Amino acid sequence: MRSLPTFGRIGALAGIALSCALPAWPASAFDKARWDALNEAVQQTSQACLHQMHHDTDEFSACVDARLLRAEGKPVEQLGAAYLGLVGCVSAARIATLHSDVCARGYLARVDALRKPLKLSHEALCPTVAGDCRSRLAQIEALRKGSKPKP
């Protein structure tokens, strides 16, 4: 059996690594236009609502909920708004902000309901909001298991 040349092996390994790192959605189910719409919804929700988190988790949730209503019938946009809501509330829960754990659980349920038909994983969604994805995914998993997100 003939072995691949060094560059061939490197290329093959790089291809395998790249394919393992791709987001969990089929290209036909989630194209560039939908991905752009998702990112745009996250950014717009962030600009409209994130400053409210400094005042009150309930005000932040009300802002995100209003954006969810405006995006009625547009599941990709709703997913973007709900994911930003989840990230904001999970961050607030780490420092025990009033109502943040209830807020985080509510948005987790919404995100899961919206992402599953689109075949998107939390790992694929994570980069839409700046920050440490490894920590965020661990916090979301802790929330899912019923424990309080850790700092």
Structural domain range at position 57: 31-145
Mean pLDDT for the stretch of residues 45-72: 93
Chain-wide mean pLDDT for the chain?
Answer: 82
Residue 22 lies in a domain: no
CA–CA distance, 29 with 10 (Å, rounded to integer): 31
Exposed, middle or buried, 61 (CB in 10 Å: 0-12/13-18/19+)?
buried
Q: Are 64 and 92 contacting, i.e. CB atoms less than 8 angstroms apart?
A: no
Residue 17 lies in a domain: no
Residue 13 lies in a domain: no
Structural domain total, the chain: 1
CA 127 to chain centre: 7
pLDDT in tens, 60-119: 999 999 999 999 999 999 999 999 999 999 998 888 787 888 999 999 999 999 999 999
**Whether residue 58 has pLDDT greater than 70:** yes
- Which pLDDT does position 136 carry in this prediction? 95
Residue 103 lies in a domain: yes
- Which pLDDT does position 6 carry in this prediction? 39
Residue 11 lies in a domain: no
Residue 151 lies in a domain: no
Residue 6 lies in a domain: no
Lowest mean pLDDT among 15-24, 29-38, 111-120: 15-24
Mean pLDDT for the stretch of residues 34-63: 93
Cβ neighbours of residue 48 closer than 8 Å, sequence gap 6 or more: 63, 67
Cβ neighbours of residue 88 closer than 8 Å, sequence gap 6 or more: 49, 50, 53, 60, 64, 103
CA 83 to chain centre: 5
Residue in 42, 132, 52 with CA at minimum distance from that of residue 94: 132
Residue 112 lies in a domain: yes
